[in-house]
Structure 1
Amino acid sequence: MSQLSDDFRTAFRHHPAGVALITATVDEVPYGLTISSLASLSIAPVSVSFSLSKESGAAGAVLAAPSFMIHMLGEEHEELATNFARPGAPRFTPEQNFQFLPTGEPYFAGAPIAFRSSIHSSISVGGSRLIAAEVHEIIQGTPQQHLLHQDRKYLRLSGLHSGIQQA
């Protein structure tokens, strides 16, 4: 690994990012993975972007699925995010509050916001794939502070006071 690559990893390790869970169904089997690369992309068409570091397993299922769900996770969903980030951890258990939409995608009903989406386009960059996903439906859940990830840890913004006063 080059010094540039090491410095790049360190820079992004310290850059906070929102945590999302992507779920899909392929051949009647649910798949899911945790990401921290979700970003808004376009208003017309309504689109988001994210990256996948591999094209097998759950990431491959997302690439193969006709549509999938992108769930923005709340602070109380740290355990769920961890489970979907770790191979072999419990997924889609009754306690995790998943249901299947009429269109077939696994939906986490506890998410503050979820997007039903499909791949608009994608491009390979190095060993990763950058996905542009068109949003077809937005499901509003219970509003809550979103979960963040920084330096291999989850962050909670609730209870923090910024010292910034609003006019």
Structure 2
Amino acid sequence: MRTAAHSSAPPRAPHAFGASLSADEFKALFRGHPGGVAVITADAGAGPVALTATSVSSVSAEPPLLIFSISARSSAAATLARADTVVVHLLDAHDLPLAQLGATSGVDRFADTSAWARLLTGEPVYRGVRAWVRCAVIGRMDAGGSTVIAAHALQSRLERDVDPGAPGDALVYHNRTWHRLGAHSRIE
């Protein structure tokens, strides 16, 4: 996967641009930038993994593509580096317990066998979430201490739809806390 759409030149090393922000400065910037919450699951043959992410973003409707990133420090990183397919669960406020589970280190995220199942294709999927999409991984790019994964949407299920213009019940992560978007947060 190329980093520039119309360039065949190799990307420049970060040090070629001069001094960069410190990790603390960069984190402070993004604490004030809310992100939608998702849980990503996969199984590359050694058992299911899950993690909570706020980096999921749609890229293209035709073909249906999305991206997300995972930290190399994540316990799920090795599995996601090998998985051919993933399931991205797009959460709302009703799914907060799942978001918290995926964000908690050192726990078995699949201990409650009533909370998840396997799709016919083998991927682990959590039950009752707002929506999920099964994707084929089409590209990976190392980016600092993370990996950016590009995926092609293959199959989805929408449990709780939101009408266009309606506030919904979106779950977002902002300034190190969970928030619910709703009619109270709408600005016109």
TM-score with structure 2 setting the length = 0.78
Q: Distance in 2 between matches of 1:45 and 1:104?
A: 23
* 2:85 corresponds to which of 67, 71, 74: 67
* 1:109 corresponds to which of 115, 127, 133: 127
The one-character-per-residue Cα deviations of 1:100-134 (angstroms, maximum 9, x if unpaired) are 10101111122211110121112111111111111
Q: Distance in 2 between matches of 1:112 and 1:20?
A: 10
Q: Distance in 2 between matches of 1:153 and 1:96?
A: 27
Are residue 148 (structure 1) and residue 166 (structure 2) matched? no
Kept in 1: contact 2:95–2:130 (CA 8 A): no
**Residues 1:29 and 1:9: Cα distance change in structure 2 (over 3 Å):** same
User: Residue 99 of structure 2 corresponds to which residue in structure 1?
Assistant: 81
1:94-105 equivalence runs, <5 A: 94=112, 97-105=115-123
The one-character-per-residue Cα deviations of 1:121-149 (angstroms, maximum 9, x if unpaired) are 12111111111111111211123522100
**Residues 1:158 and 1:89: Cα distance change in structure 2 (over 3 Å):** farther
Q: Distance in 2 between matches of 1:3 and 1:123?
A: 22
Q: Distance in 2 between matches of 1:145 and 1:60?
A: 33
User: Residue 29 of structure 2 corresponds to which residue in structure 1?
Assistant: 11
- Greater relative contact order (CA < 8 Å, ≥ 6 in sequence): 1
User: Residue 44 of structure 2 corresponds to which residue in structure 1?
Assistant: 26
User: Residue 120 of structure 1 corresponds to which residue in structure 2?
Assistant: 138
User: Residue 133 of structure 1 corresponds to which residue in structure 2?
Assistant: 151
Q: Distance in 2 between matches of 1:154 and 1:24?
A: 24
Mark the runs of 5 or more structure 2 residues left unpaired by the alignment.
Answer: 1-19, 162-167
Say which SS state the counterpart of residue 81 (structure 2) adopts: helix
Runs of 4 or more above 6 Å deviation: none
Q: Distance in 1 between matches of 2:83 and 2:46?
A: 11
Q: CA deviation at 1:8?
A: 1.7
Q: Which has the larger radius of gyration?
A: 2
Are residue 51 (structure 1) and residue 69 (structure 2) matched? yes
Q: Which deviates further from its counterpart, 4-13 or 31-40?
A: 4-13
Higher strand share: 1
Mark the runs of 5 or more structure 1 residues left unpaired by the alignment.
Answer: none
Kept in 2: contact 1:72–1:112 (CA 8 A): yes
TM-score with structure 1 setting the length = 0.87
**Residues 1:5 and 1:102: Cα distance change in structure 2 (over 3 Å):** same
Kept in 2: contact 1:80–1:96 (CA 8 A): no
User: Number of paired residues?
Assistant: 163
